[in-house]
Copies of this chain bind each other. A is one copy, B any other.
Amino acid sequence: MKKPLILVSNDDGITSKGIRTLVNVMKTIGDVVVVAPDGPQSGMGHAITVGETLRLEQSTIFEGVRSWECSGTPADCVKMARHYVLRGEREPDIVVSGINHGSNTSISVLYSGTMSAAIEGAIEGTPAIGFSLCDYGHDADFSHTEEYIRKITLQVLEKGLPKGVALNVNFPPKRNENIKGIRVCRQANAKWVEEFDERRDPNGRRYFWMAGNFVNFDKGEDNDEWAIANNYISVVPCQFDLTAHAAISVLNEDWSIL
């Protein structure tokens, strides 16, 4: 049987520990191609590079793995992989992104560059998974994720995914006790409440740092925040059709201007 072709990207940049862990796991499963940002692209959401140029250079960072570093966003990386690096070759069998240094549960999925790379995969019709570790440290311990990343990736390669769906997988931080298992969940109802830390630069001009607190409104046990808090791995199937279908009939009934 032919080995699967696995496209790897991330948003923390090609030098991060998370992508190195992910590449090492993927090498045990198939042929790996990496196209990842040349620097940090956290919080880039589904940004693409419009009106500016892109750079793409080959990298030797991963031994025995075809790798490129790109000046663009995670979404740009997947687009360049599909339509430039792998042009004329076979399509990837799966797109994996991460492992993100930090949580992408709940509303954070919208701001996540990790997930935008996965969703680009889904848009192209390729099964795709974004992996994140709920630990923001740059020397975070990823060792407990490897076995599960391998299992989840093999499961998706075997079973496929529903059309238009990418998986948002979050891991609890490394704890003393073992992970309890994998839970398929919905996105929790939570948000960030921002604070802007106002400072003065050496010229007396104001500038700001965005800071914020995460506020969870969700009391359910079927969501990703609950799963992580209870030491489960959360798997949220995500879609790129943003239509609020139920709202269509509401507007058609309520509005007098139609």
- Chain B residues contacting A79 (CB-CB under 8 Å) are 194, 210
Q: Does A247 contact B (CB under 8 A)?
A: yes
Q: Which residues of B contact A209 (CB under 8 A)?
A: 53-54
Q: A45 in the interface, Cβ–Cβ < 8 Å?
A: yes
Contacts of A49 in B (CB 8 A): 43, 210
Complex contacts, A247 vs chain B, CB 8 Å: 161-162, 165, 237, 239
Give the docked Cα–Cα distance between A241 and B110 (Å): 9
Contact assessment for A243 and B237 in the assembled complex, using a CB-CB cutoff below 8 Å: yes
- Tell me, yes or no, whether A195 is within 8 Å of chain B by CB: yes
Q: Mark A163-196, 1 if CB is under 8 A from B, else 0.
A: 0110010000000000001111111010101111
Whether a CB of chain B sits under 8 angstroms from the CB of A157 is: no
Q: Which residue of B lies closest to A53 (CB)?
A: B207
The answer, among B51, B109, B206, B257, for a CB contact under 8 Å with A182, is: B257
Chain A 236-258: CB-based contact to B (< 8 A → 1; otherwise 0): 11111111111110111011111
Cα–Cα distance between A46 and B47 once the two chains are bound (Å):
7
A124 to chain B: closest residue by CB: B191
A191 adjacent to B123 (CB under 8 Å): yes
Counting CB contacts under 8 A, is A42 at the interface? yes
A 97-110 binary contact with B (CB < 8 Å = 1; else 0): 00000000001011
Total copies of this chain within the assembly: 2
Number of A interface residues at 8 Å Cβ cutoff, please give it.
Answer: 82
Closest to A87 in B: B196
| A134 on the B face (CB < 8 A) | no
Q: How far is the CB of A105 from chain B (nearest CB, A)?
A: 12
Question: Are the C-beta atoms of A244 and B248 separated by less than 8 Å?
Answer: no
In contact, B238 and A244 (Cβ under 8 angstroms): yes
Q: Is the CB of A50 within 8 A of B54?
A: no
Q: State which of B45, B83, B161, B168 has its C-beta within 8 Å of the C-beta of A45.
A: B45
The CA of A94 and the CA of B31, in the complex, are separated in Å by 50
- Which of B83, B162, B196, B241 contacts A187, CB < 8 Å? B241
Alpha-carbon distance between A207 and B208 when the two chains are bound, in angstroms: 33
Known contacts A194-B79, A235-B251, A257-B182, A240 near B50 by CB under 8 Å:
no
- Minimum CB–CB distance from A111 to chain B (whole Å) comes to 5
Q: Are B195 and A83 in contact (CB under 8 A)?
A: yes
- The 9 lowest CB-CB distance pairs between A and B, nearest first, are A45-B46, A43-B50, A237-B247, A239-B244, A45-B45, A237-B244, A238-B242, A47-B47, A186-B243
